[in-house]
Amino acid sequence: MPSEIVSVLSNQPVGEDVFALELPALHTPKPGQFYMLRREGSVLLLPRAISLCRKEGDTLTFLYKVVGKGTAELAAMRPGDNLRLTGPLGNGWPLEKLSGRVLLVGGGIGIAPLVSAAKALYQQGNPPDCCLGFPHQPFYHEPFTPYCRTLHIATESGVAGQQGLVTQLFDPGQYDAVLCCGPTPMMKAVVDLCKVSGTPVWVSLENRMACGVGACLVCTCTDHQGKNRRTCKEGPVFRGEEINFDP
Ligand SMILES: Cc1cc2nc3c(=O)[nH]c(=O)nc-3n(C[C@H](O)[C@H](O)[C@H](O)COP(=O)(O)OP(=O)(O)OC[C@H]3O[C@@H](n4cnc5c(N)ncnc54)[C@H](O)[C@@H]3O)c2cc1C
Ligand code: FES
């Protein structure tokens, strides 16, 4: 898989502890794929998995939240700093299989891999509806606007949009497919709603990773048959109905 050293183009805060990192695009990733990122010369052994957020022209944008040492190191990077970029990795959203009304559901930093999905669906002539949920102040929702039929926001604190959870914003029965990414309890809740209405649903899992290429099994999840599925290799996008969220 491709692995190159690239120079940071920009790295700007776009929300509380949330940054948008721009890097030169050396390949054309599929929406829903991810990359492994590691600052050149980092003392940290492992790269960190970050989803493709969007590709515009020759620029890839990654949206990430600072949660620990690896993402703090990314946040400290300046234009011109070097970073090893490995990917694109994994399987993206099954956009070519989708028709009819499509709903995108994102929670917090989980909105990242949905921006490129919204753009691709728009370009397929099928702009999706979009529901985004945040604990408090929303961030990076503007990039969805040009590509979505409708965009609804929920915040738990009530500072913007409808107060409450993103799952209160939609009825999956009105849709032919749902794509979802966010915290595990939110994805589980969305999948449960979709099971009731019989709506096909895909989720993008963000399990902890080490190798990112299927060799170490650190990222394994299980399906309802008890079969192990590697998030980096068979995912990160899976049919939501197949995944056991309570292993
Ligand atoms: C396929 C994939 C795509 C991802 N896409 C994005 C993205 O677009 N934007 C983004 O901000 N993050 C994304 N993540 C999560 C990101 O990889 C982790 O937040 C990051 O590795 C944390 O590294 P750290 O060193 O900063 O934190 P650590 O010091 O490793 O951990 C700090 C805290 O974060 C928790 N944590 C660590 N890794 C994860 C994880 N994978 N999921 C949930 N909690 C975790 C730890 O349990 C701990 O509480 C993705 C993960 C995967 C597997
Ligand atoms: S991260 Fe090593 S197998 Fe997935």
Q: What is the pLDDT of residues 85-98, one digit of tens each?
A: 999 999 999 999 99
End residue of a domain, out of 33, 57, 89:
89
| Ligand sitting nearest the alpha carbon of 111 | 1
Verify whether ligand 1 is closer than 6 Å to residue 234 (CB atom). Answer: no
238 assigned to some structural domain: no
Distance (Å) from CA 44 to ligand 1 centroid:
14
* Token output for 26: 């050396």
Tens digits of residue pLDDT in 140-151: 999 999 999 999
Q: Are residues 20 and 85 in the same domain?
A: yes
Which of 3, 81, 87, 88 shows the shortest CA–CA distance to 39?
A: 81
Pocket test for ligand 2, best of 91, 216, 222 (most atoms within 8 A of CB): 216
Write the CB contacts of 38 (distance below 8 Å, at least 6 apart in sequence): 44, 46, 47, 48, 83, 84, 86
Q: Are residues 74 and 140 in the same domain?
A: no
Q: What is the 3-state secondary structure (H, E, C) of the chain?
A: CCEEEEECCEEEEEECCEEEEEEECCCCCCCCCEEEEEECCCCCCCCEEEECCEEECCEEEEEEECCCHHHHHHHCCCCCCEEEEEEEECECCCHHHCCCCEEEEEEHHHHHHHHHHHHHHHHCCCCCEEEEEECCCCCCCHHHHHHCCEEEEEECCCCCCEECCHHHCCCHHHCCEEEEECCHHHHHHHHHHHHHHCCCEEEECCCCCCCCCCCCCCCEEEECCCCEEECCCCCEEEEHHHECCCC
Q: Are residues 103 and 140 in the same domain?
A: yes
d(CA 129, CA 156): 20
154 assigned to some structural domain: yes
d(CA 243, CA 222): 6
246 assigned to some structural domain: no
Q: Are residues 11 and 28 in the same domain?
A: yes
242 assigned to some structural domain: no
240 assigned to some structural domain: no
Tens digits of residue pLDDT in 19-52: 999 999 988 999 999 999 999 999 998 999 999 9
Tens digits of residue pLDDT in 167-212: 999 999 999 999 999 999 999 999 999 999 999 999 999 999 999 9
Which atom of ligand 2 approaches the CA of 216 most closely?
2
Q: Are residues 62 and 99 in the same domain?
A: no
Pocket test for ligand 1, best of 23, 89, 208, 216 (most atoms within 8 A of CB): 208
- The confidence score (pLDDT) of residue 2 equals 86
Range of the domain at 78: 3-89
End residue of a domain, out of 188, 204, 220:
204
142 assigned to some structural domain: yes
- For 18, counting Cβ atoms within 10 Å of its Cβ (0-12 exposed, 13-18 middle, 19+ buried), the class is buried
Q: CATH number of the domain that 109 lies in? A: 3.40.50.80
**Which residues, in sequence order, are bridge partners of residue 4?**
85
209 assigned to some structural domain: no
Which residues surround ligand 2 with Cβ inside 6 Å? Answer: 209-212, 214-219, 230-232
Q: Are residues 40 and 132 in the same domain?
A: no
End residue of a domain, out of 89, 120, 143:
89
* Token output for 243: 């995944």
34 assigned to some structural domain: yes
> How many folded domains does the chain comprise?
2
Q: Are residues 186 and 99 in the same domain?
A: yes
Q: Are residues 15 and 108 in the same domain?
A: no
Tens digits of residue pLDDT in 209-222: 999 999 999 999 99
Q: CATH number of the domain that 73 lies in? A: 2.40.30.10
